[in-house]
Structure 1
Amino acid sequence: MDIIIYPPTINWTFMKQRPQQLMKKFADSGYKVFYCNQTQTEKDIEEISPNLFIVHNHDQWLKEILPKARKNKKVGIWCSWAKLASTLKKYEPNWIIYDCVDEFADWIKYEPEMVKIADAIVCTAERLKKKLQNNYPTKRTELIRNAYDQEMMLHENSKDIIIPKKKIGYIGAWAPWIDEELISRLARTLNYVEIEIIGIEFGKKFNLHHIPNIKFLGHKPHSELPNFLKNYSLCIIPFRINPITLATNPVKMYEYLATGHPVVSTNLPECYLAQPYVDVANNHVDFINKVRNRLQNPGNSLERKQFALNNTWSHRVNQAIHLIREISK
């Protein structure tokens, strides 16, 4: 099989996200994948699973290892950071796919150069697809949403899980797009329910320690998340509505649904499209009422699990492989 390179963007061990999920599935499908860490060290290249290599010393790898590995093989670039466009020619790729994952204002200025050199664009949300097709009508653009990681085994029934009391969970970055006021109102209104928050502080400090039924656990390794998720009664996506979140297809939505728990979200377009499996609220009062209702009447857990199982990273990488085959003929 051919080679796929993910150029230096985020470290492999920094929050398991879309890049890591896709690269692992590409490797499982037979591609030889080189995932280049952003932080470079003198450490040798590391094969962490069959066909999946972490590149720690990028310059040495580029000079000594890649030329040998690419013999009689096509080399493709899967890039999710438009700022890297000017650096990609050094890989001498046969094809480039630009994976547009967010609508961060600081990234958009780099986008035209990336789109110009890309053979195709993929994106994670319908809003992004419409914007990209409008801005670059001649460039092939495909919608490949985020997905559920079956290896988390969240869809499996756990007989030993006992939920002693009602508990609401949020897992994700504590970032500027979190509606802190909504969480505060939810906690005070439903003061008999514990709200547990797991995630790194990302451009925003956690300031709700004074509310007794909110517990902030900070970052937890991805491998530990199933133990927390399975203990929740309900999961929330409490995002503000802004250009970033309007174009967000939350990975956590799929992971939440895989547990079978009810999921309540603010009015995000991608969550709206996931109805009836996700309950979408129009305002704070509506959000709190929907949470209260689902705590009393959880609804159909099997249908939520099936939605997640119909939207796995294996499904997404099959879409991506079909695209790669077409652009690399």
Structure 2
Amino acid sequence: MRRSEEMDLARRALRGRDLVVFSNDWDGDPLSKVHIMRILSRDNRVLWVNSIGNRAPKANAHDARRIWNKLASFTEGIREVEPNLFVLAPLAIPFYGSEAVRMANRGLLRAQVLRAMRKLNFKRPISWSFLPASAPVSGRLGEEFVVYHCVDEFSAFSDTNGKHIAEMEEQLLRRADLVITSADRLRDNKVKVNPSTVLVRHGVDFNHFVKACDPATKIPDDIANLPKPILGFFGLVADWVDFEAIIAAAKAHPEGSVVVIGKVAPDVDASALKAVPNIHLLGRKPYADLPGYCKAFDVALMPFRVNELTLNANPLKVREYLAAGVPVVSSDIPEVRKVGLCKVAQDTEDFVRKIDECLAEGAGPSRERAEFIRHESWDAKVEEIRAFVGKAMIKSGRGL
């Protein structure tokens, strides 16, 4: 078979298939997984299995609410949320420290997923896991092919039982026919366990975020009249966010505003941010409104603490900021360096200096700046994924 014919066959292999996808809850913010599966659902059927969790619940209002929502979703059965995209909210017992519970989960989750597959008349399924917690069932659903799509170093999250998450991930790595990673460091780590490990970096919803450069895009009222310059951040306000850098930026520009858009994680104390008068915590906003907020940003901030979690991360927001045409200042994260186009700071003082450089060089959205990231669309990334999956199927002799 000629190479061109093999490549064409590889790309066709991931079409007209039934995919069982283990990921975060569908109704959350659209992360990389949502973008990928929305594109694949154009010519495949997708059963999206909502998160079964990477940690045990805690005795707080947030987790109680989450459990209640999961129970409510479970009673709805299978929902078709978009054409060819079906969502299942399974019940599971998220206490990973117990082998007995893991065995019970394996049976409970497998039964629920198999029932949904039968109801949808799934044939020759491919399972596609974004979470190590799917390890008890991945490869045990009669799949023809198993993909583990790793976008984080899950054992490094502070609110998980790292040892047990690492054990489950190793099971999944050994069972997978193909491992897809989103960062160089992740690939280098996972290939030690599974040689069939490849790298596909994140894409960006370019046409959505470039609206920040459109004169017709409205700036939301809660940011429109804030004093400038506006230094903006959006994303989950979690323990990997560098509060010191945000506070230093605000104090360096008392005439301006630092805007933080996103939910504050339940275990995070944001009082230090709230204590600074020109830091504005605006809360979580709809994805549809983010270009309008970016339009108000003079400089976008990517302040992460540098640790094992973030060294393995490929922050999606960086590409989104860039697609909005906004200059970006980031902590020194390897994947941000590889994107280029950003000013990378070595420490808190340097973070402030880099912001000042951006303000001096040309603040706010620029269509010319946005065009540099256009080629990194999610459609282009999904074509890479199709090729890798297809070649792995050809190599294994299965799923064609």
TM-score exceeds 0.5: yes
Shift of 1:153: 4.2
Alpha-carbon distance in 2 for matches of 1:259, 1:65: 39
* Equivalent residue letter for 1:143: L
1:18 is matched with 32
Of residues 35, 38, 41 in structure 1, which corresponds to 2:74?
41
Shift of 1:115: 0.9
Contact 1:45/1:57 (<8 A) preserved: no
Of residues 356, 368, 376 in structure 2, which corresponds to 1:292?
356
Shift of 1:14: 1.6
The alpha-carbon distance between structure 1 residues 69 and 264, as it changes in their structure 2 partners (threshold 3 A), is same
Whether 1:187 aligns to 2:250 is: yes
Alpha-carbon distance in 2 for matches of 1:225, 1:309: 18
Shift of 1:65: 4.5
* Equivalent residue letter for 2:215: K
The alpha-carbon distance between structure 1 residues 189 and 32, as it changes in their structure 2 partners (threshold 3 A), is same
Of residues 132, 141, 153 in structure 2, which corresponds to 1:82?
132
Q: Could you give the per-residue CA deviations for residues 249-270 of structure 1, whole angstroms, max 9, x where no partner exists?
A: 1100011001111000011111
Alpha-carbon distance in 1 for matches of 2:241, 2:153: 16
Q: What is the TM-score normalised by the length of structure 2?
A: 0.75
The alpha-carbon distance between structure 1 residues 219 and 68, as it changes in their structure 2 partners (threshold 3 A), is closer
The alpha-carbon distance between structure 1 residues 249 and 304, as it changes in their structure 2 partners (threshold 3 A), is farther
Which ranges in structure 1 are unaligned for 5 or more consecutive residues? Answer: none
The alpha-carbon distance between structure 1 residues 226 and 266, as it changes in their structure 2 partners (threshold 3 A), is same
Whether 1:200 aligns to 2:263 is: yes
Whether 1:237 aligns to 2:302 is: yes
* Equivalent residue letter for 1:37: N
Q: Could you give the per-residue CA deviations for residues 291-317 of structure 1, whole angstroms, max 9, x where no partner exists?
A: 012112127934531232111211111
- The 5-angstrom pairing of residues 201-280 of structure 1 reads 201-202=264-265, 203-207=267-271, 208-275=273-340, 277-280=341-344
Higher RCO (C-alpha under 8 Å, 6+ residues apart):
2
1:109 is matched with 167
Moved more, 113-122 or 37-46: 37-46
Q: Number of matched residues?
A: 323
Answer with 1 or 2: which has the greater Rg.
2
Of residues 115, 118, 121 in structure 2, which corresponds to 1:67?
118
RMSD, aligned α-carbons: 2.2
Tell me the percent identity. Answer: 26
Moved more, 259-268 or 109-118: 109-118
Which structure dedicates a bigger proportion of its chain to helix?
Answer: 2
Q: Could you give the per-residue CA deviations for residues 214-237 of structure 1, whole angstroms, max 9, x where no partner exists?
A: 000122222222221121111010
Contact 2:114/2:141 (<8 A) preserved: no
The alpha-carbon distance between structure 1 residues 63 and 76, as it changes in their structure 2 partners (threshold 3 A), is closer
